[in-house]
Structure 1
Amino acid sequence: MKFLLMLHLLLAGPGQPDAYKPMTLTSVRITPWHQLPALIYLPDEAKTPGKKFPLIITLHGRSIAGKDPAKIFREGVARQVREGKKIEGKDPAGKHYKFIVLAPLAESWSLGPEHLESALDDVLKRYPVDPSRVYITGYSAGGWSVGMAVTTPSLAKRLAGAVNMSPATIDDKNLASFKVTADANLHVWYFGGEAEPVFLGNCHRFADSTNRYREGLTRMTIGSHGHCCWHEYYDPHWKENGESIYDWLLRFKR
């Protein structure tokens, strides 16, 4: 895997400078011995000394997993970046923020919480991230990652907010651990489709399990679609009650 990662980095180098623009191919360390390829977007102002930015970690579905980082652009926040959309928003006071976007590539399925936490540690050391504004989102298998993250104590307390779209079913231990989410005062916005009963059912189960311990931490949007259409919600121009998912995330910080 290390050889393949080096090969990807070389191919995206001087010979192919536009291969992943406006994102850049990098890697994130998920164990002391293992790294995964990832795409990262940095605002132009990230070069300003001392300036920090909110981070949104975006996690793909199962069909994207593998060894080709370019597949990340098929869906999610990375697709919006590739299409030239500005991943930015305003907090309730009207202050404008631009996001750093990190899109890691899982070898199969998605990333578990222990790998996400290691990747976060790595990114915080290398990029100008505001640690009080770390957000996470994912769809399908990536939604499994989000569900696992918000129910893992060490990670939940580091996240400022989450957006979970059509999540796959999480592990039984975590399914019984939404008190962790509530204790961390972690807000999660769920998205599901009327024609995807299993995934919509997971949205309701996760939200209800959180609300049992503390009401007001979850939000739910239900569309008239199946297991698809996440690009609509990830588009920063899409708004519900006057705010995009990026505006909503900026309500919250650690």
Structure 2
Amino acid sequence: MSAHVEETRDLCPAEHLDGLVVLTLNRPEARNALDVPLLQAFVAGLAAGIRAGAGVVLVRAEGSAFCAGADVRSDDGTASGHPGLRRRLIEESLDLLGGYPAAVVAVQGAAVGAGWAVAAAADIVLASPAASFRFPELPLGFPPPDSTVRRLEAAVGPARALRLLALGERFAADDLAGLGLVDVVPETSLDEKARETAARLAALPPELLRDLKAGLSAWKRTSLPNTLERQS
């Protein structure tokens, strides 16, 4: 790919449909690793969808991997006078994802570190059988995003969340399906199923969808201790 194409390519193209925005991570030659330009495009796409009144966002990716995590070989903003910009943009993207009444993510390959954080921020994660998930941050000396810690703890409890986040292990889609974190979909129909699911959610009144999501979150917070108590 020529330098000219790299400079002018849309790193995160957006499709605006009825009540739905579809965002595509489009840096496949780097396995969609999150450098500052891709993150800026992603954040801009998420913010534009909210401004346009989209109730649902679908995040998908081009290439063999969903997202290889933060691109630690790229400038984190220091060269432009903004050290730590990459991590701040990751946190901003997770906050924006959580701001939608519903978020859907389609994972067709590896979702590593910040890539898994993006998936964990969604309400529905559809994954191909070849998808894999790994958090390498803690063994490398970096804390995972707070929102990811809270989300996984609420979903699977503190003990399982610790294993998912702390040991740097690779988990297959079937592993996470067993914990209720993803739904496994044949790779050939992953994109179609993700778009269909997102469109069905977008057809619902967004305010009712938001209320339902808030109610379910409150139920998780009150029921989780009882569930863990029964297991002990």
The structure carrying a bigger strand percent of its residues is 1
Instruction: Give me the TM-score of the superposition, normalised by structure 1.
Output: 0.39
Instruction: Give me the TM-score of the superposition, normalised by structure 2.
Output: 0.42
The structure carrying a bigger helix percent of its residues is 2
